[in-house]
Amino acid sequence: MREWIEWYDSNHTIYANARHKDVHFRRIAEDIAQYVPSPISAVLDYGCGEALHAETIAARAGKLILAEPAPGVRARLAARYAGNRKIMVCSTDDVVNLPQNSVDLAVMHSVAQYLPPEEMDTALARLRRLVKPSGVLLLGDIIAPQTSAFTDALALLRFGLRDGFFIAACASLVRTVFSNYRTLRARIGLTRYDETAIVARLAANGFSATRQPRNIGHNQARMSFLARPS
């Protein structure tokens, strides 16, 4: 995952424009917030990215931990939420220092595709230790083997049409063809799971999972799963 972390920590152009970036993270935060079980819940967002609207989740919880591996992104998170006492920022490696069974809701959204299977197992083991016996893990944006880049592009265009950045989305797709993102994706690839495979991997790491009716975020060609300690 190191090369992906370095890419996301660079001055990349994965978002079509500022509007796209804002509504992307707003939609994710609103979707995650629906899963917060109570106003006193401890929530961990593992691999949270820019998390521009994390306050939406924090407003529904007692505490929100934003765990992010990219140091530049993490520094921006710490600066952005310095005044919010409900929000704590740390690295994904730092979560090993959190108390066992201390999290009511753990979230790992749009991370699994960048992790080789052995690193996925490491992440799931960390989260299994932290999630309370009564808690849950929300795993989002799982890409099935048959999901094509064209399907993802079409989802982006529909998102742009609905939320006011369609022209920018079209230009962004053209830029992506010639970008280092496409080169990196072609060289390293993305890790994909069908429903049976991801449920089995979660089971091997101590979770019993069911697919959710909707994926977190805009791309409904991808999958989300709710997993409970087994």
Q: What is the pLDDT of residues 170-208, one digit of tens each?
A: 998 888 777 777 777 778 889 999 999 999 999 999 999
- The confidence score (pLDDT) of residue 9 equals 87
CATH class of 2-229: alpha beta
Please state, rounded to an integer, the average pLDDT across all residues of the chain. 94
pLDDT, one tens digit per residue, over 2-17 is 888 887 888 777 898 9
- The confidence score (pLDDT) of residue 54 equals 98
Q: What's the first-to-final CA gap in the chain, in angstroms? A: 28
- What is the number of residues in the chain? 230
pLDDT, one tens digit per residue, over 130-166 is 999 999 999 999 999 999 888 999 999 999 999 999 9
Q: Provide the 10 A C-beta neighbour count for residue 209.
A: 20
Average pLDDT value for residue range 91-112: 97
Between β-strands 103-109 and 207-211, what pairing exists: parallel, antiparallel or unpaired? unpaired
DSSP 180: H
Angle formed by the axes of helices 180-188 and 166-177, nearest 10°? 60
Alpha helices by DSSP H, listed for the chain, are 2-8, 18-33, 54-58, 71-80, 117-130, 149-163, 166-177, 180-188, 195-204
pTM above 0.85, yes or no: yes
- The confidence score (pLDDT) of residue 179 equals 74
Res 219 pLDDT > 80 = yes
- The confidence score (pLDDT) of residue 172 equals 85
- The confidence score (pLDDT) of residue 142 equals 98
| Domain limits, the chain | 2-229
| 106 bridge partner residues | 44, 137
DSSP string, 141-156: EEPPTT--HHHHHHHH
Taking the C-alpha atoms of residue 165 and residue 163, their distance in angstroms, rounded to an integer, is 6
- The confidence score (pLDDT) of residue 30 equals 98
- The confidence score (pLDDT) of residue 213 equals 97
Angle formed by the axes of helices 166-177 and 18-33, nearest 10°? 100
| Cα–Cα separations (whole angstroms), residue 208 to 25, 70, 203, 211 | 28, 30, 6, 11
- The confidence score (pLDDT) of residue 208 equals 98
Query: Largest alpha-carbon pair distance within the chain?
Result: 47
Q: Residue 110: what residue type? A: S
Percent of residues, the chain, with pLDDT higher than 70: 100
Token pair 């079980």: residue: 37
